[in-house]
Chains A and B, each alone.
Chain A
Amino acid sequence: MKANVKPVEMLYEASQTTLGLIEGAVPKHEMQILKSFFRCMESNLRIKLEQIAEGKPIIGHHFAFPSEVFSCFDAVPICVEAISYLFSALFTTGSEKYYDLANSWGHPYHSCTSQKGMIGMALEHNFIDFDVIAIPSAPCDNTIASYQFFSEHLNIPTIVADMPYYHNSRGYEYYSNELESMIQELSTILNQEPNYERLRQSIIYSNHAVENLAEINNLRRSIPCPVESVFNPIGSAVQNFFSGQVEKEIFYNEVLEIARERVRTKKAWRETDERVRSFWPYMSVFFDITFCEWLDRKLGMPIVTDIFNYFFFGPIKNIESLDTKGMIDGLAYQSMEYPMVRQSESFASVFFEDAVNLAHQFSADCAIFTAHIGCKQSASMIQLMREILKEEVGIPMLTIEMDIGDKRMTSLETIKKKVLEFTQTLL
Chain B
Amino acid sequence: MICGIDVGSILIKAIVLDEKNSNDIVLQEIGKSIGNPEESVTTLINNIRKKLRLKKRDLQIAFTGRNCENLTMNPKIAELNCLAEGIHTSSDHNRIIVDIGGFTNKIIKIDETGRIMDYLMNNICSSGSGVFISLICKSLGIDIMEIDTYAFKSEHPHPISSQCSIFAETEVIYLMNEGKQIEDIVAGACKSITGRLIPLILKIGREINQVLMLTGGLAKSEFIKQDLMEQLHIEVKNPSIDPIFTCAYGCARSLQNTSKEEI
Contact = CB atoms under 8 A, between A and B. Distances in A.
A401 interface: yes
A424 B78 contact: yes
A317 to B, nearest CB: 45
A396 B80 CA distance: 15
Interface in B62-117: 69, 78-81, 116
B119 interface: yes
Contacts of B119: 425-426
A417 interface: yes
Nearest to A371: B123
B156 interface: no
B161 to A, nearest CB: 18
Contacts of B124: 401-402, 409-410, 414
Contacts of B180: none
Interface string B3-34: 00000000000000000000000000000000
A399 B123 CA distance: 9
A402 B123 CA distance: 9
Contacts of B118: 390, 396, 426
B203 interface: yes
A414 B69 CA distance: 12
A410 to B, nearest CB: 6
A418 to B, nearest CB: 8
A337 B117 CA distance: 36
Interface in A111-131: none
Interface-central residue, A383, A390, A425, by most chain B CB under 10 Å = A425
Contact of A426 (B69, B79, B116): B116
A421 B123 contact: no
A390 B80 CA distance: 20
Contact of B81 (A383, A400, A425): A425
B79 to A, nearest CB: 7
Interface in A399-413: 399-402, 409-410
Contact of B80 (A386, A400, A401, A421): A421
Contacts of A371: 123
Interface string A359-393: 00000000000010000000000010010001000
Contact of B79 (A386, A390, A409, A421): A421
Given A417-B69, A426-B118, A401 B78 contact: no
Interface residues of A, number: 17
A425 B123 contact: no
Contact of B116 (A401, A417, A425): A425
B78 A425 contact: yes
Nearest to A418: B121
A383 B78 contact: no
A421 B121 CA distance: 11
A401 B125 CA distance: 10
A383 B116 contact: no
A401 B120 CA distance: 13
Contacts of A426: 116, 118-119
A236 B79 CA distance: 35
B69 A425 contact: no
Interface string B145-171: 000000000000000000000000000
Contacts of B78: 421, 424-425
Contacts of A383: 203
B260 to A, nearest CB: 20
B123 A401 contact: yes
B80 A425 contact: yes
Contacts of A396: 118
Nearest to A401: B123
A379 to B, nearest CB: 11
A400 B78 CA distance: 18
Nearest to A400: B123
A378 to B, nearest CB: 15
A424 B119 CA distance: 12
A402 B79 CA distance: 22
Contacts of A414: 124
A424 B76 CA distance: 12
Contacts of B80: 421, 424-425
B114 to A, nearest CB: 12
B88 to A, nearest CB: 14
A409 B118 CA distance: 25
A378 B78 CA distance: 30
A371 B78 CA distance: 24
A326 B219 CA distance: 66
A396 B108 CA distance: 13
Contacts of B69: 417
Nearest to A423: B78
A386 B69 CA distance: 28
Interface in A213-254: none
Interface string B107-143: 0000000001011000110000000000000000000
B56 to A, nearest CB: 28
Nearest to A396: B118
B65 to A, nearest CB: 12
Interface in B161-214: 203
Nearest to B116: A425
B217 to A, nearest CB: 20
A396 B119 CA distance: 9
18 contacts: A383-B203, A386-B203, A396-B118, A399-B123, A400-B123, A401-B123, A401-B124, A402-B124, A410-B124, A417-B69, A421-B79, A421-B80, A424-B78, A424-B80, A425-B80, A425-B81, A425-B119, A426-B119
Q: Which 10 A-B pairs have the closest CB atoms?
A: A424-B78, A401-B123, A425-B80, A425-B116, A401-B124, A410-B124, A383-B203, A425-B78, A425-B119, A426-B116
Given A401-B123, A410-B124, A425-B116, 15 more contacts: A371-B123, A383-B203, A386-B203, A400-B123, A409-B124, A414-B124, A421-B78, A421-B79, A421-B80, A424-B78, A424-B80, A424-B81, A425-B81, A425-B119, A426-B116
